[in-house]
Amino acid sequence: MKIGVLAIQGDFAEHLVALKRIGVEGREVRLPEHLDGLQGLIIPGGESTTIGKLAVDFQLLEPLKQFGRVHAIWGTCAGAIFMSKDAHRDQPLLGLMDITVERNAFGRQIASFEVDLDAPYLPSFNGSSHPFHAVFIRAPLIESVHGDAQILTALPDGRIVAARQNRWLATVFHPELTNDDRFHHYFVELAR
């Protein structure tokens, strides 16, 4: 099992550390050929416009789309925006997931926050499932899901913060910034 992490901008290093912690081999992806032999790809948080522009410059956009047609991809925060079909703006997107996102939906950087979320679908290692501590940094919202996309997690007021569509996963928060690796385990199972 080998999982790539798109390493052109954002907090890719933290995802690689989390993969290492759970004993999965990770690889930095910067060029199309780095996708060869991977079972899945993580797109980190950062700045979605920058990730999109660099993906175009590095001629990665089409190879990433093609990879996603057969493999698992997980986008966190900016990565979730990049996975979406619609971000209400003209910016390069992979357009894989049938989700519409609203960028910076919680306001500016200073409005970043942390909250415990129920996530019963995550693996439980001691028989009891406990809430997931989620870190939101100038996060988007998943405004709506369409087609085959499903809501995975919502805030208590109903706003959607995680979605899944087949082997694709989008979380608008940052599991890689905690020591709770359950989302990384969950994604590795999707990729398997």
Please identify which of the residues 14, 15, 71, 77 carries the catalytic annotation: 77
Among 28, 47, 86, 143, interactor with ligand GLN by CB under 6 A:
47
45 binds ligand GLN (CB under 6 A): yes
Encoded tokens for 128? 């009891």
Taking contact as CB under 6 A, which single stretch among the options 24-32, 60-68, 74-82, 177-185 is the one that binds ligand GLN? 74-82
93-132: contacts with ligand GLN (CB under 6 A): 103-104
Query: Cβ 155 to ligand GLN, closest distance in Å?
Result: 16
Whole-angstrom distance, CA of residue 173 vs CA of residue 185: 16
Catalytic residue (one of 176, 184, 185, 189): 176
Of 48, 84, 153, 171, which one interacts with ligand GLN (CB under 6 A)? Answer: 48
How far is it, in rounded angstroms, from Cα 154 to Cα 170?
Answer: 12
Distance, in Å, from the CA atom of 63 to the CA atom of 65, rounded to the nearest integer, reads 5
In the block, tokens 């990729």 appear at 191
Q: Rounded to 5 degrees, what are φ and ψ at 98?
A: -80, 65
DSSP code of 50? H
81 binds ligand GLN (CB under 6 A): yes
